[in-house]
Amino acid sequence: MAVLLERHGLMDRHLESFLEMMAAERGAARNTLAAYRADLDDLQAFLTTRGESLSTSGTADLRAYLVSLADAGLSPRTQARRLAAMRQFHKFLLREGVRPDDPARLLDSPKPSAALPKNLTEAEVEHLLRAAAEAPGLRGLTMRAGLEILYASGLRISELLSLQSVALTADAEMLLVRGKGGKDRVVPLSDAAREAARALRAARKKQGRWLFPGRDSRKPLTRQAFFLHLKQTVLTAGLDPARVSPHVLRHSFASHLLGRGADLRSLQMLLGHADIATTQIYTHLLAERLQKLVEQHHPLALAYMAGERLHPTEAAER
Query: Where in the sequence numbering do the catalytic residues fall?
Result: 156, 180, 247, 250, 273, 282
CA–CA distance, 279 with 275 (Å, rounded to integer)? 7
Among 133, 138, 150, which Cα is nearest to 252's? Answer: 150
CA–CA distance, 146 with 246 (Å, rounded to integer)? 9
Number of Cα atoms under 13 Å in the Cβ half of residue 99: 18
Burial category of 271 from C-beta neighbours within 10 Å (exposed 0-12, middle 13-18, buried 19 and up): buried
Residue 188, classed as helix, strand or coil, is strand
Q: Which residues, including other chains, have CB under 8 Å from residue 109's CB and lie 6 or more apart?
A: 80, 83
| DSSP H helix total and E strand total for the chain | 15, 2
**What is the phi/psi pair of residue 174, to 5°?**
-130, 155
